[in-house]
């Protein structure tokens, strides 16, 4: 399996699972997996989360930092903005999802760039 596909789909699945995966999010997640030719990686990501839902975010942070966190700044930002846009396209981004994405942005050292890109004020 492709590690970057696994990381990308883990990121998307993790954020969508943050408040419980609904039907619309499932469709968006599967569309992303299809676009990346990554259905096996999506199965892996969902199994990773299901292994222990409570600790999934903390466990994922390490994996994501080793895969996405080492990419060029523009690619790290692109990955996070993509999941932001998917959430925004469904009509809302919850506070919990936003907080999770901000934690990842900090992990990946792109917090200011991410906030600027998605229109979050630093104040």
Please check whether residue 123 lies inside any domain of the structure: no
Across the 123 residues of the chain, what is the mean pLDDT of every consecutive 10-residue run?
Answer: 92 90 91 96 96 94 95 97 91 90 97 94 72
Q: Which domain holds residue 82?
A: 3-118
Q: Is the pTM of this model over 0.85?
A: yes
For helices 95-107 and 56-67, what crossing angle results, to 10°? 40
Task: Give 11: exposed, middle or buried? Use CB within 10 Å, 0-12, 13-18, 19+.
Answer: buried
| CA-based nearest residue to 117, from 92, 85, 93 | 85
CB atoms inside a 10 Å sphere around CB 66: 11
Please check whether residue 85 lies inside any domain of the structure: yes
The count of structural domains within the chain is 1
Helices (H), 2-54: 3-16, 23-35, 39-51
């Amino acid at each position: 399996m492709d590690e970057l596909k696994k990381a990308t789909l883990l990121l998307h699945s993790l954020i969508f699972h943050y408040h419980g995966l609904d039907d619309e999010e499932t469709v968006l997640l599967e569309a992303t997996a299809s676009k990346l030719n990554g259905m096996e990686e999506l199965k892996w990501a969902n199994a990773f989360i299901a292994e222990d839902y409570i600790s999934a975010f903390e466990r994922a942070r390490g994996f994501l930092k080793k895969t996405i966190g080492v990419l060029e700044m523009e690619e790290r930002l692109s990955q996070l903005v993509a999941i932001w846009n998917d959430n925004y396209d469904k009509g809302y981004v919850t506070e919990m999802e936003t907080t999770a994405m901000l934690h990842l942005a900090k992990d990946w050292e792109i917090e200011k760039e991410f906030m600027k890109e998605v229109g979050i004020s630093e104040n």
